[in-house]
Amino acid sequence: MTAEQPTYPPVSLRSQIPFWRDERVLRILAQVVSAIMITGFVVWMVRNVIITAQQRGLSLGFRFLTQSAGFPIGESLIPYDPSMSFAYAFFVGVLNTLYVSSLGIIFATILGVFAGIARLSSNWLVSKLAQVYIEVHRNIPLLVLLYLWHSAVFLQLPRVQESIVWPGPVYLNQRGLYMTWPRLTETGQPFVIGFAAGLILAAVVWVLLSRLQTARGGNTHYVLISLVVLAVCTAAGWIISGGNPIALDVPELRGFNFRGGMHLSPEFAALLVGLVTYTSAFIADVVRAGIQAVPRGQVEAARALGLNYRQALSLVIMPQALRVIIPPLISQYLNLTKNSSLAAFIGFTELFFIGKTTINQAGRALQVILLVMAVYLVISLFTSLIMNLYNRRVQFVER
């Protein structure tokens, strides 16, 4: 008879590894050391700032924001005068930054999409013109473009008395662009309420009917019905307001300048045009890459179904290209928003410009810089949030 072999409990290979060579222990140890170093650096920096401020007799509070600003602001979307507080002036700068950034994102997207599609055109001349436009704007610093648009274009326009007149009427001169603009009359409030209510109801009808069409099939005509709802609510507001809710404010030359209408200063126009042309060149390359990422077979299948190029582009190519375009497009939107701070170079009163002026007036450099950084961070995070939500809707869903 053979003796039975003794049995031993299985020994894990990981249990034989010393803890100083265990990958899990090393990863945790590295994170702990990194956290301690970062925390120590932040504590040292804050302590150093507090000690330096105490030695120089500086206050680190934000009470100065309630004091009178004492400086004028050339352009403001809301009423402002120098007797108002630093906080109000800072808010004016935030609104100006949001205003120029929002317009810049809209126009840069439109121009960039057209330039990107033109770059892929089968027409040699159109393709080369788009290529020249993209390469020129991609390889010139934005600060140089802003200087060129401001000093070499807008400041070289005719004097006020010799303004260039376009239909509208629109007047273009050294002091900016003056255009006819619609203004609400005293009875225009019901019209605004009716239009706003129409937008909300139309959106609700759109969502409900589109979901009903998806669930039950058939055609619920949700687009047509939504437009009808919007038109009916708007018409009701128009009738309640007396049929005259909007009046055209036409600019008129009075003395040495125009009065009335909408005025865009040379600084604002130069900033907007510079941001749009510069950013649209990068967006054009993003759009081109997104379109080229769509498999060639998708395009051939669309043409085989009888779709022309425009239909294939809008119904087949672009919906698939958006999955590639959206992520880098977010970065371009964030760059445009942050690049608006270069407006201080040409004198447009946006957030950074007003921040610099506040530092000169109040002497609170640290607090103002922190506020400016916080505002740009919030704007960037909000823009990323909106675009990422849309990006999730257009991505493939794997089942």
- Helix, strand or coil, per DSSP, at residue 247: strand
Average pLDDT of the residues in 244-271: 85
Q: What is the pLDDT of residue 349?
A: 87
Q: What is the pLDDT of residue 69?
A: 87
Question: Tens digit of pLDDT for each residue in 76-125?
Answer: 888 888 888 899 999 999 999 999 999 999 999 999 999 999 998 888 99
Pairwise CA distance, residues 277 & 270, whole Å: 11
Question: Tens digit of pLDDT for each residue in 280-301?
Answer: 999 999 999 998 888 888 878 8
What mean pLDDT is reported for the chain? 85
Q: Where is average pLDDT lowest: 34-43, 50-59, 178-187?
A: 50-59
Instruction: Tell me the pLDDT band of 62, cut-offs 50, 70 and 90.
Output: confident
Report residue 221 CA to chain centroid gap.
33
Q: What is the pLDDT of residue 165?
A: 86
Pairwise CA distance, residues 216 & 218, whole Å: 7
* Per-residue buried b or exposed e for 36-75, using 16+ beta carbons within 10 Å of the residue's own CB: eeeeeeeeeeeeeeeeeeeeeeeeeeeebbeeebeeebeb
Task: Reply yes or no on whether the pLDDT at 1 is more than 80.
Answer: no
Pairwise CA distance, residues 373 & 376, whole Å: 5
Most distant CA pair in the chain: distance in Å? 125
Pairwise CA distance, residues 210 & 213, whole Å: 5
Task: Reply yes or no on whether the pLDDT at 8 is more than 60.
Answer: no
Pairwise CA distance, residues 281 & 174, whole Å: 27
Is the separation of the CB atoms in 169 and 251 below 8 Å?
yes
Residue 362 CB partners (closer than 8 Å, separation 6+): 64, 67, 86, 368
Quick one: tokens of 399? 């089942």
Average pLDDT of the residues in 33-45: 90
Q: What is the pLDDT of residue 277?
A: 95
Task: Reply yes or no on whether the pLDDT at 329 is more than 60.
Answer: yes
Q: How many Cβ atoms are within 10 Å of 116's Cβ, its own excluded? A: 25
DSSP string, 173-199: ETTEEEE-EEEE-TT-HHHHHHHHHHH
* φ, ψ of residue 56 in degrees (nearest 5): -95, 0
Q: What angle do CA 27, 31, 36 make, to 5 degrees?
A: 150
Is the separation of the CB atoms in 290 and 325 below 8 Å?
yes
The share of the chain scoring above pLDDT 90, in percent, equals 30
The residue that leads in pLDDT, 219 or 326, is 326
Q: What is the pLDDT of residue 10?
A: 56
Task: Reply yes or no on whether the pLDDT at 59 is more than 80.
Answer: no
Q: Where is average pLDDT lowest: 46-60, 213-227, 363-377?
A: 46-60
- What does pTM read for this prediction? 0.79
